[in-house]
Structure formats: C-alpha cells, structure tokens
Structure 1
C-alpha cells in the first residue's frame, strides 16, 4: 500500500500512473486548496470572490480533461493558456491565497505539460501549504494517500472527514472558511449559484454530471472569463438551467408520486381541459403530467419558448387552484384526509410542493430569456 507523506512520495506514485489519473490527482489537491483563498481582512468580499474564480475555472477545465475519453490535449491547450494567464490575478492576502492559486496553476499545467507527474506533485505541495496550518497537520497528505488507493474515484474530497449530518465536513477551520466564502457568494447569488452547487457536490463525493462540467468548460469563451463572474454566469446559464430544471422536475415528481391518481383524459402532450374544470382528485395528476410535458419540451432539439411559457403558466395555475381547494379539505388530528379525496401527503407537504413549483416557474422564466 502506498503512503504519501510528502511531494516526493507522491511523485514516485504519480510517475507510475496514466496522464488522466495524474490530472485527477492534481485537481483534487487544487480543489482542497480553494478555501485557502478566504481572507478575513477588511474589504474582503470583492477580493475573495475575485481570487476564487480562477480556482473554480481550473476545476472545470481539469475535471473535463480528467473524465474525457481518449484525451486530446490540443482541445484544451488554448483554454489552459488563457486560464493560467487569468489565474495571475493578484492574491491580496499573501501566502495561503497564493498557494491556492499555485495549486490551481499546477493542475492546469498537468493537462498540457509533458512533465505532468511533477506538476501533480506540485499541486499537492501547494495544497498542503494552503490548508495544512495550525492543528490540521498532514491531513492533505493523508487525503492524497486515500486518493492513491482509489484512483479516478470521486469520493468525498476529505475522505477522513465523512459527513455526520452536517451540510459538509472539512478539517480544521476550512469548513468555516468555506461557509463564509459561500455566504459572500450567496449575496451575489445570480453570479455564483452554479459554483456553490458544483463545489458542494465535489465536497460530498456527489459531483454534478460530468457532461455538464465538460460542456461548460469547453463552451464558455476565454473572453467571458476575462470579463468577470457576472459575464461567466451569463455564459453558463443557458447550459446550466436545463439541468437545473430537470433536477427540480424530478424532485417535485418524487413529492407527488405517492399522491398521483389515475385520471383518464390527462396524460399526453396536448394541453388538457381548463384548470377550473378539474377536481381536487384530478389536480395532482394534472400537475404531474404538466411536468412530463415540460420535460419533453426541455429535451426537444429546439425547445419552444412559447410552449415552455404556456406549460409554466398552467403548472402555476394548477398549483394555485390546488392550494385553494386544500383549504376546504377537512382532516383529523392524525392529518389523514377525512374526505378520502386524496392522500394526506399533499396536505402535509403542500408548503414544500408549492415552493418547488415556484422554483420551477422561476427557472423556466430565466431559461426562456436565453431562448428568445
């Protein structure tokens, strides 16, 4: 069994690995270093987010390279050159921020350099400098050892710190730093929503679909990155929003599944009878089938903005009527619907269902803006 205790032992192992494993290893080190960009200095928000963006860009490019079958480095060459130039944004807090950037730069060099094993080892070295401080000790090397035993597997980023019911688990103060950094991103949600979800998935070992990562890495133009987070978010949105919509549809359908009723006459892609004519028993199935129609339109080669808007409106109207009818349904202390009209689940989970429908509506409206 390999034990990685320093960059030299890492290099010895890396020299025996294929190119994409080296990229994968370097990337995981660079991703672990991201909280190192956090600074508690005054006026931190602009600098923290500015310094973080090159690290996230590195994550996309290196992840796309690591999972691309029969990797052709020429596909990535110009993007890597541009990203390395972009990563030279001044780090405002000295050591840790610089080391986080250097870890990212090493991961990028690992994609196109012939000496990729050495660059991967450097990424680990810089990661250790960015995060191994105070009481954390050699945790970066322990995590790298775990990686060497599970090559090309996307386990939780910090395998020695499994989830314990918390949103994420990271060593030392890294969790607090990431939480603070994420809080800053939350105040500029439209610019950073994708990045928070992408990194959270990596942290937990549940990454977003690699096809989505590859599309964003290879479709967002270098000029967009040079303009800043707002422009990058605009470029990502038309790629990310269909994925987000699919996830939201699946989540709502999971809530409705237990209450779905068979109702003849609703179920194809033609818009059914007016909402006002539907009964309480029919509405959950009506909402379900509108979700299916929305999914079908989303997956069309050329989604029709007008039909998407029509389906969004019908979904919202159906939810509004169901909400009104719920007020008229009597249920006992155990929350079982006395009328037998529908399972208690709809009544019990209505607030959550209503919120999910509102999120779907907003996502559809945001996406339509890019389709027009």
Structure 2
C-alpha cells in the first residue's frame, strides 16, 4: 500500500484502509509513527513550562511510546495481557499533565505538542486493542496518533519520508502482517533518519546526557528502534511497561534507576558481545579471579616468522649502532622490545605494537645511506610486513574492524575519570596480568591530549585502542558477574529494592555497569 500525505483525502483513505484490517495493524503503525516524531520533543527545552521540568514531560511520553510498542507485538513480549492493557491505559493517561503543561506553553501547531499527542494516542490504541473494547475506538486512536505525527512535521521532505515509511510498514497489511517483524525494522526504509528529525534527535540526545537523571536506557532504546539494530529486548521492555504506577509517579530520577537495574544485564551483554578482542575473559576456577585468555592463533608458523624477523632486525639495529647518545627512535624500539617480551604469543597486542612502532619510526628514521640507517629501514619494512601478517589472523581482523566502527570523542579523555570506579572494581577481581593491563590502559587514556590530537580533532590510535581494550574487558567481566547473579532480582519488586540501594550508594554491580553504559552512549558511539 502506497501513501502520499501531501495528497488531499489521503487521511480519509488511510482510515478506510485501517477499518478493514486487524486492530493490531493500526496499533503497530501508530506506535512506529509516534517513535518517528519523538525527536521533536527537543522543543521542550525552549518552552516555558512553569514549575515543570522537561523530564516531567519526557518520562510519561517515553513511557506511553514504549508501552504502545510492547503492546503492538503481544504476545511476543511475554507479559500478562490484562496487566499490559492497564499499563497502556495508565501510560496514556499519564501524559495528560504533560499535555496540559505543553498546551499552556506552546502553540497548537508546535511539533513537541504534536509528538506528545501522537504518543498518547498510540497508547490509547494499544489499550483499546488489548481490551477488545471497540474496533472503532482502536482505529480512531491509531488515526489520531498518525495524524498527530504528521502534524509534528514541518518540512515537506520529511512529510514525504514519513509517507514512504508508513507505506513500507503497511505493505504487508493483510494476513501476512507480523507486528514483531515490522517493529524490529529501522524506523525509516533507507535506514537513515531525516534532516529535520535527525538534527532534533541529536539535540534531544545531548540534552538528555547533560543532566543527572540517567537517561542512557532511553537513548539506547530509541536508537535501537531508529536503526533496527541491535534488536530490542522485548521481554525487558515488557517488564518496564509493567513497572508499578507509584514508581512512575516518583519521577525520572527514581524510575530510571529501576530501569537501569532491570536493563543493565541485557545491555552490558549486548555491549560485551559487540566488542571482540581476540581473547576470552573468564573467571579462573582455582583462584576465583578474572583472567584474559588470548585467542588461539591459526597460522602459527607465519606468526612465529613475523616475530622472529622483527627480533632479528632489532638485533641488527644494535650491531650497526655507532652513537652512544640517545636517539629519538630509542623511545619506539624500547617500547617495542618491552611489549614483545610481555605479549609473546599474543597476536593482537603484538599487531598493535608493530603498527605503533612502524608509524613512530617512520617519523624519526635517519638517512638510509648509512649502515645504521639501512638497518632502521629494514626494521620498518619488517614491522609493516609483520603487522599485516598478524592482521590476517581472523580474530585480530575481527577486532580491528570492530575498533574502526568506534569513534571516541575528544571529550572522552576528560570524562575518563567516570570509568575509574569501573576499572577499580574489575581490577580488584582480576589476576595480576589483567590488573596490570587495565592500569596501563587507564594511565594512557587519561594522559593530556597532544597537540596533534587537538589539531586533528580525534584521539590517537594508541589511545583509542587502549579505550577499546578497557571497555571490552570491563564489559565482559560485568557480563559474567551479571550472569552469576541471574538467580537474584527476578521481579520488579526486587528491582525497585535495588533502585533504593542505588540511591543509598549500594549495589556496586549495577552502578559500575551503568557507568560503562553511560560513558559508551555519551562519548564512544558507533561511527
């Protein structure tokens, strides 16, 4: 089905089409339309809201949108039908005060107000569908959500994009319609947000991360919808939809702590699985400490040949040296020797050591007309061959590719102190080698930015690799810890108790996991 909402009578045509379809189709389309225009809530920061704060408005709108999305794929979400219906109704009604505040502060055509109406109507559509009270009421609510979404747009190009997106969603709007499949698609058919909404989302995202109410779950939740990956954890979203009303009423600070405790195991697992590092992190059964086991090297002969060739070139360098005074290249050769001794037999750290030494020596290489200069040139050549050979190892290649996708902000250096409790917690539970690696990484990460980094507006590759290694190791340790405690915190009541512990400074596991997740979502996004 193709839609074009710039065409007169298109909304009436949509109403007629929805009337002849299963109610869940309208609920699904309503939820996705509300999600698409949610970035326009960035307008809350320019609205005069009186005694209310933007978070007082955002939380019920996020809640209504999440609940409508969960309801659209029922029973996949594995939550009780009656409880979810009541949750959908409560979520819709919870937006009333937000609408009142916005109506007083904004014009009737404001996009933030329209986005709020869209979320409310989507939740009402979910309530009507789940309660089977009235097909007409469910369709009316779905249409209201869609109409409000259309009203939230100001650019013709975005209206056209929304028409295309709704066309894609409703293409299987008959017997083949599968709500869960549709809800797991990217919000936009081409996988990209559109100019008006993309800009608003980045502004909203920045506003959310600038406060102290821990919105990292909501950022991750929205971006999963936006990109269609990683897939949503629907059972988790079902639990969040069923958080008791009295907790929602206590505001964003309180309920976001509950959500953090509910969501951190799943989100940490997703993060850990997304960061290959040519190693396995495990708890040693004899010592009880965490350790890093390097991945098995596939091409052992080629690996040994690359190592031996570089060692020979380093020895030749000493044989041809005629100057006793320190040289600029000594910094790189000493560092290289130290890492080769420490990481003998480990492909990834040696790959990194070879590449770093190669780039450093290229900058300090003396004239190749002398025997010593020729020896340096030979070492440079062997290093280049060596790190390329090591890159051919599948685990090394997988890790390097993963690193390229991560673009740490310059501000990540100043924010690195927020990782200190995480690294301290992980190091205390690790063997000597893992503890030493984490300490060396953290020392490098926290060093002042160099003039070159500031000029290039990006962190050095060595610093970026240290940050990747630290977060990968820490996330994997946290994932193991969460799995070890799976038998605990099975209910929302337990999660609420954890939230109270968090407020009192307890539950180190939850706090350290959320410190990693907050840092990643704010300073270390996918490129």
Q: 2:214 aligns with which of 173, 177, 191?
A: 191
Q: Shift of residue 247 of structure 1? A: 2.2
1:224 aligns with 2:247: yes
Deviates more, 1:130-139 or 1:238-247: 130-139
Q: 1:241 aligns with which of 257, 260, 264?
A: 264
Distance 1:69 1:175, change over 3 A: same
Residue ranges of structure 1 left out of the alignment (5+ in a row): 164-168, 285-308, 327-345
Residue number in structure 1 paired with 2:143: 121
What does residue range 144-293 of structure 1 map to in structure 2 within 5 Å? 144-150=166-172, 151=177, 152=179, 153=182, 154-159=184-189, 162-163=190-191, 169-188=192-211, 190-206=213-229, 207-218=231-242, 220-252=243-275, 254-257=276-279, 269-271=285-287, 280=342
Q: Distance in 2 between matches of 1:145 and 1:118?
A: 19
Q: Shift of residue 98 of structure 1? A: 1.9
Q: 1:103 aligns with which of 103, 115, 118?
A: 118
TM-score normalized by the length of structure 2: 0.51
Distance 1:369 1:141, change over 3 A: closer
Q: 1:28 aligns with which of 7, 10, 32?
A: 32
Q: 1:57 aligns with which of 57, 63, 67?
A: 63
Q: Shift of residue 367 of structure 1? A: 3.2
1:41 aligns with 2:156: no
Distance 1:117 1:271, change over 3 A: farther
Q: Shift of residue 21 of structure 1? A: 2.4
C-alpha contact 1:186 1:192 (8 A) present in aligned 2: yes
Residue number in structure 2 paired with 1:131: 153
Distance 1:15 1:188, change over 3 A: same
Aligned length: 313
Residue number in structure 2 paired with 1:295: none
Q: Shift of residue 359 of structure 1? A: 5.4
Q: Distance in 1 between matches of 2:81 and 2:466?
A: 51
Deviates more, 1:208-217 or 1:71-80: 71-80
Residue number in structure 1 paired with 2:106: 93
Distance 1:17 1:132, change over 3 A: farther
Distance 1:317 1:244, change over 3 A: farther
C-alpha contact 1:48 1:181 (8 A) present in aligned 2: no
Deviation track 1:109-128 (CA, whole Å, cap 9, x = no partner) reads: 11122221221122111000
Residue number in structure 1 paired with 2:509: 367
C-alpha contact 1:58 1:83 (8 A) present in aligned 2: yes
Distance 1:316 1:105, change over 3 A: farther
Distance 1:50 1:282, change over 3 A: farther
Give the match's secondary structure for 1:170.
coil
Q: Distance in 2 between matches of 1:369 and 1:325?
A: 23
C-alpha contact 2:187 2:227 (8 A) present in aligned 1: yes
Residue number in structure 2 paired with 1:332: none
Deviates more, 1:196-205 or 1:57-66: 57-66
Distance 1:273 1:57, change over 3 A: closer
TM-score normalized by the length of structure 1: 0.71
Residue number in structure 2 paired with 1:331: none
Q: 1:82 aligns with which of 90, 115, 125?
A: 90
Give the match's secondary structure for 1:227.
coil
Q: Distance in 2 between matches of 1:274 and 1:61?
A: 39
Deviation track 1:187-212 (CA, whole Å, cap 9, x = no partner) reads: 12652000000000100012422122
Residue number in structure 2 paired with 1:68: 74
Distance 1:23 1:155, change over 3 A: same
Residue number in structure 1 paired with 2:329: none
Q: Shift of residue 324 of structure 1? A: 7.2
